[in-house]
C-alpha cells in the first residue's frame, strides 16, 4: 500500500514549507542567504525488479542548500557599515576562533575594536607606522590617540610671476656723494647769504638722471644754515632744524623725491679751522666755511621694505608649523630687478625678516634656471618664541614660471601640521581603512580582509548570519578586496537579505499543493484499505 510513499511526500513538503518560512522570516535580515530544499527519490534497497517494473518508495530531502547570490545594497549613515559587492566573506574572530559572514553592520567597542553585533572582531591586514599594508592579519582597532605635530621643513610653490611687471620701489644711488671743503670764505657769512654748490647728477626711482643743486642759506643764528636741494627750478622744502656748522662731514647722503615733495633733514657741519688750508685772510674763532658737493652719478640700487608695498611686486603667505605645532605666518615677497628675467625673493616669518634677498632667474621661455635643480631656496634658521626648535625652511621653486600673464598662486603646499585628533574613518573599495584627523592629516590604519572558499555550499551554518569552515568547504582563501574573484567594498552600506518574497510565496503555494496531494494519496489508500476490510 502507498501509505509509506505518501507519508514521505508529506514529510518532504513539510520540510520545504519550513525552509520557505525561514526564508520569509529573514527577508529583512542583513547578510542573510536564502536556502533551497533539494529532493531525491527513494528506491528500496535490494530490489530485484527490472528497470521496467521497479517502483520507488517515495521521496526524501537530499539537502538544504544555501544560495550565496548577491543581496540588495542598502545605504546607511555609518561609514563602518560595509557591503561586499561580489564573492567573499568578512572574517570575524571571537577569542581567536574565526567565523565568516556577509553581514557588514559593524561598529566600534569601548576599546576601539571594530566589531559586529555579536562583539566579534573584524579581521584586517595591519599597516606599519609608514602606512604600508603588511601581510599580518589581526583584529582591526582604531587608535584614538592624538597624532603629534610635525615641523614644516619645505614649501612647494606653484606660482606665475608676471613677465610684464614694472620694476618697483625707489631707485637710489649706490654711492653717497662727497662734500669736500673746496670753497673757503673769509670770516662770518652774512645772514641771508646764499652759497651755491656745483650741480650733480643723481638717479631717480625710474632710473632717469636728475640734475640737482645744493644751496646753503646763512641764518641769523650763530653758525646756522638752511640747506636746500634745487631740481629743475623746484626748491625742496627746508627742514625744520637748521644746519649748525660745528663739523665738516667726510660725506653726506641726501634722500629726495624727484617731484620736489620731499626735504632733507637737518645735517650737522663742524668747522675745524686747523684742518682748513689755503686761507688768505686772517682767521679767528668765527671763521666759517661753505662746502661744495662734488657731482657723483650713482648706479641704481633696489630697496625692499615688507611694510611698503611699493618696494615689491607680489607676495603670498602660508601658515607653517614649528616643532610644538604652533602656526607661524611665512610671507614670501617677489621683487623684479632691473636685470632681465631676474627677481629677488625675500621671506618673513610673523613679520620678522629671515635672511636677505635670494636671486631667482628665469630663462627666455619662462622656466626657472637659478637656483639650479633641485631649484630650492633655503632660508636661514628661524627660532620661534615659546621654546620650539629652530625652523629650517626651504622653498621649492621648480614649479615657478615667468609668463606674460597676471601673478597667480596655483599651489602653495607645506609639509608641517599641528597636533590632531581622530575625526573620522573611511573605508575604500579595496578595504583600505583611513583615519582622518582634525589637523587635516590622514593615516592608513589597515585593510579589511576577505575570505573565499572553493565550495561555499560546504560551510556550516552557525546562526547570526555566520558560517564556519568545514572539510567540505575547504580552507579559507584570504586576500584583499578586489583581488582575484573577491568583490569590492562599499562603505556606508549593508548587504540585505537575498530573499525574494514573491518567489518564496509562490514556492509556498507549490509546497502546500504537494502536501495536499500527498494527503489525498493517504486518504485514497485508506479508502482502499477499508474496502478490503469490508469484503465478506
pLDDT of residue 235: 60
Continuous segment of H or E residues that includes residue 495: strand 493-495
pLDDT of residue 184: 40
Position 113 confidence tier, pLDDT thresholds 50, 70, 90 = very high
Position 145 confidence tier, pLDDT thresholds 50, 70, 90 = confident
Position with higher pLDDT, 193 vs 283? 193
Q: Which domains does the chain have, with CATH numbers?
A: 3-68+503-533 (no CATH), 73-142+424-495 (no CATH), 154-168+304-414 (2.60.98.20), 170-301 (no CATH)
Extract the C-alpha cell encoding 534. 469490508
Position 265 confidence tier, pLDDT thresholds 50, 70, 90 = very low
Poorest-pLDDT segment among 103-112, 113-122, 187-196, 511-520: 187-196
Is residue 183 predicted with pLDDT exceeding 80?
no
pLDDT of residue 28: 92
Q: Work out the average pLDDT over 168-183.
A: 48
Is residue 373 predicted with pLDDT exceeding 60?
yes
Instruction: Please state, in angstroms and rounded to a whole number, the distance separating the CA atoms of residues 390 and 372.
Output: 26
Is residue 193 predicted with pLDDT exceeding 70?
no
Summarised one tens digit per residue, pLDDT across range 25-71 is 999 999 999 999 999 988 877 655 556 667 778 889 999 999 999 99
Position 224 confidence tier, pLDDT thresholds 50, 70, 90 = low
Position with higher pLDDT, 306 vs 272? 306
Cis peptide preceding 371, ω within 30 of 0 = yes
Extract the C-alpha cell encoding 337. 630687478
Most confident listed range (245-254, 341-350, 518-527): 341-350
pLDDT of residue 206: 52
Summarised one tens digit per residue, pLDDT across range 428-447 is 999 999 999 999 999 999 99
- For the chain, the 3-state helix, strand and coil shares in percent, each to the nearest 5, are 10, 40, 50
**Across the chain, what does the average pLDDT equal?**
82
Taking CA atoms, 450 is separated from 17, 114, 137, 140, 354, in Å, by: 34, 15, 11, 13, 54
pLDDT of residue 144: 86
Position with higher pLDDT, 287 vs 438? 438
Extract the C-alpha cell encoding 121. 572582531
Poorest-pLDDT segment among 55-59, 81-85, 240-244, 471-475: 240-244
Is residue 23 predicted with pLDDT exceeding 60?
yes
Helix (H, G, I), strand (E, B) or coil at 332: strand
Is residue 280 predicted with pLDDT exceeding 70?
no
Cell numbers 601658515 correspond to 319
Nearest partner of 446 among 460, 431, 468, judged by Cα? 431
pLDDT of residue 49: 56
Amino acid at each position: 500500500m502507498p501509505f509509506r510513499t505518501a507519508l514521505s511526500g508529506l514529510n518532504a513538503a513539510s520540510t520545504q514549507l519550513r525552509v520557505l518560512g525561514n526564508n520569509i522570516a529573514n527577508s529583512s535580515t542583513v547578510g542573510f542567504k536564502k536556502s533551497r530544499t533539494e529532493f531525491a527519490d527513494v528506491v528500496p534497497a535490494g530490489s530485484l525488479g527490472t528497470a521496467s517494473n521497479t517502483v520507488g518508495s517515495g521521496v526524501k530531502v537530499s539537502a538544504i542548500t544555501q544560495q550565496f547570490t548577491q543581496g540588495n545594497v542598502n545605504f546607511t549613515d555609518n561609514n563602518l557599515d560595509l557591503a561586499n559587492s561580489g564573492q567573499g566573506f568578512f572574517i570575524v574572530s571571537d577569542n581567536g576562533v574565526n567565523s565568516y559572514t556577509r553581514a557588514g553592520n559593524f561598529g566600534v567597542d569601548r576599546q576601539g575594536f571594530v566589531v559586529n553585533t555579536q562583539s566579534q572582531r573584524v579581521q584586517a591586514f595591519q599597516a606599519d607606522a609608514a602606512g604600508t599594508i603588511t601581510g599580518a592579519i589581526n583584529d582591526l582597532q582604531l587608535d584614538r590617540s592624538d597624532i603629534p605635530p610635525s615641523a614644516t621643513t619645505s614649501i612647494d610653490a606653484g606660482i606665475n610671476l608676471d613677465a610684464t611687471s614694472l620694476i618697483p620701489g625707489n631707485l637710489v644711488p649706490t654711492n653717497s656723494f662727497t662734500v669736500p671743503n673746496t670753497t673757503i670764505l673769509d670770516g662770518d657769512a652774512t645772514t641771508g647769504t646764499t652759497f651755491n654748490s656745483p650741480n650733480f647728477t643723481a638717479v631717480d626711482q625710474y632710473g632717469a638722471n636728475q640734475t640737482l643743486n645744493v644751496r646753503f642759506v646763512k641764518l641769523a643764528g650763530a653758525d646756522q644754515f638752511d640747506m636746500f636741494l634745487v631740481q629743475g627750478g623746484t626748491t625742496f622744502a627746508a627742514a625744520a632744524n637748521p644746519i649748525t656748522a660745528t663739523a665738516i662731514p667726510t660725506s653726506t647722503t641726501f634722500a629726495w623725491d624727484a617731484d620736489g615733495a620731499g626735504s632733507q633733514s637737518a645735517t650737522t657741519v663742524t668747522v675745524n679751522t686747523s684742518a682748513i688750508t689755503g686761507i688768505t685772510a686772517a682767521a679767528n674763532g668765527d671763521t666759517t666755511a661753505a662746502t661744495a658737493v662734488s657731482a657723483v652719478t650713482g648706479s641704481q640700487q633696489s630697496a625692499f621694505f615688507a611694510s611698503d608695498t611699493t618696494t615689491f611686486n607680489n607676495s603670498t603667505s602660508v601658515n607653517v608649523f614649528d616643532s610644538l605645532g604652533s602656526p607661524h605666518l611665512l610671507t614670501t615677497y617677489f621683487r623684479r630687478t632691473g636685470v632681465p628675467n631676474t627677481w629677488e625673493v625675500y621671506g618673513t616669518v610673523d613679520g620678522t625678516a629671515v635672511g636677505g634677498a635670494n636671486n631667482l632667474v628665469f630663462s627666455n621661455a619662462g622656466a626657472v634656471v637659478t637656483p639650479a635643480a633641485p631649484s630650492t631656496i633655503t632660508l636661514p634658521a628661524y627660532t620661534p618664541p615659546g621654546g620650539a626648535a629652530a625652523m629650517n625652511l626651504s622653498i621649492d621653486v621648480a614649479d615657478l614660471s615667468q609668463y606674460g600673464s597676471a601673478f597667480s598662486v596655483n599651489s602653495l603646499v607645506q609639509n608641517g601640521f599641528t597636533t590632531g585628533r581622530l575625526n573620522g574613518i573611511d573605508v575604500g573599495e579595496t578595504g583600505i581603512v583611513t583615519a582622518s584627523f582634525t589637523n587635516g592629516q590622514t593615516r592608513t590604519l589597515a585593510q579589511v580582509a576577505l575570505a573565499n572558499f572553493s565550495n561555499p555550499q560546504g560551510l556550516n551554518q552557525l546562526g547570526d548570519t555566520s558560517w564556519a569552515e568545514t572539510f567540505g568547504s575547504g580552507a579559507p582563501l584570504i586576500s584583499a578586496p578586489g583581488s582575484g574573484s573577491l568583490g569590492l567594498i562599499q562603505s556606508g552600506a549593508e548587504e540585505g537579505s537575498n530573499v525574494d518574497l514573491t518567489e518564496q510565496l509562490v514556492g509556498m503555494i507549490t509546497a502546500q499543493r504537494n502536501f495536499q496531494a500527498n494527503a489525498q494519496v493517504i486518504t485514497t489508500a485508506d479508502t482502499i484499505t477499508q474496502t478490503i476490510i469490508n469484503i465478506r
